[in-house]
Structure 1
Amino acid sequence: MSRMIFVNLPVSDLARSVAFYEAVGATKNPAFSDDTAACMVVSDTIFVMLLTHPKFASFTARTIADRSTVQAMLCLSCDSKAAVMDQLAAATAAGGTPDPTPEQDYDGFMYGRSYEDPDGHIWEIMWMDPAAARQGAAAHETA
């Protein structure tokens, strides 16, 4: 069985966050959503759990980070450089902030951009040429 990842994010406005994540391509799974949480399906193995601050706080005694701090940067792959640009445009149109981290352009074999969601969570989006990735992996194995 493939492993799955559930990314839990505290959000200040659940409805706004659901709308944002739907705008960048996720779908809401109503079976795992209520008025305190929404399960956003990114792929068959990637889920983003949007949790109101009180719901998130019920899982930890630590303070929820504010926009002045960064706890993690999440990165998702895209099928092409154009798909990176499309997702960045969708995120920006939905109220996200483009490029909180520097653009990454590695001579045509890898390209990345980033955006912040309305709560300041940073998502990197990247494309890598599959042939270049295979060559890099093969070179690593022989080293």
Structure 2
Amino acid sequence: MNKQIFLNFAVKDPDKSMEFYTALGFTNNPQFSDETGKCMVWSDSIYVMLLTHEKFSSFATKPIADTKSTLAGLFSLSLNSVDEVNTVMTAGLAAGGTEPSEMRDYGFM
């Protein structure tokens, strides 16, 4: 079996969050999506689960972080070029995302 990773995020509005991740290039897997959560596919082995706070809380043992005022994690996407990074960033900002700090090239290309 191919190893996979599922990142689970607590979101207020799964449909709006799905629109945002779709703008970044993810696709929705309706087989694992309903009104309480959306399964977004980045690759054959990486998935993001967008879960309502109620659904997320059913798996969690600690309070959900308020990501407007606290940091819950750092996540990165692997892309093929600086141009592709800029395209995804532009799409994310246009879909309602915010840029928390100035973009920097860390030289991993």
**1:70-121 deviations in Å (ceiling 9; x for gaps):** 12101111100000000000000000002x1442224xxx2xxxxxxxxxxx
* 1:75 match: 76
How many residues end up aligned between the 2 structures? Answer: 108
Flag the structure with more relative contact order, 1 or 2, with Cα contacts below 8 A and sequence separation at least 6.
Answer: 2
* 1:41 match: 41
Residue type at the aligned position of 2:104: Q
CA–CA separation in structure 1 for the residues paired with 2:61 and 2:2: 31
Q: Residue 20 of structure 1: CA displacement?
A: 0.5
CA–CA separation in structure 2 for the residues paired with 1:32 and 1:14: 13
Identical-pair percentage:
48
Q: Which has the larger radius of gyration?
A: 1
CA–CA separation in structure 1 for the residues paired with 2:60 and 2:81: 38
Q: Residue 58 of structure 1: CA displacement?
A: 0.4
Flag structure 2 segments of 5+ consecutive residues without an equivalent. Answer: none
* 2:51 match: 51
Corresponding residue SS for 1:96: coil
Q: Residue 3 of structure 1: CA displacement?
A: 1.7
Matched, 1:24 2:42: no
* 1:12 match: 12
Residue type at the aligned position of 1:29: N
What is the RMSD computed on CA atoms of the aligned residues? 1.2
Q: Residue 30 of structure 1: CA displacement?
A: 0.4
Q: Residue 60 of structure 1: CA displacement?
A: 1.3
* 1:60 match: 60
Normalised to the residue count of structure 2, the TM-score between the two structures is 0.93
* 1:92 match: 93
CA–CA separation in structure 2 for the residues paired with 1:14 and 1:103: 27
Flag structure 1 segments of 5+ consecutive residues without an equivalent. Answer: 111-127, 130-143
More strand by share: 1
Residue type at the aligned position of 2:80: D
CA–CA separation in structure 2 for the residues paired with 1:49 and 1:101: 25
CA–CA separation in structure 1 for the residues paired with 2:10 and 2:49: 8
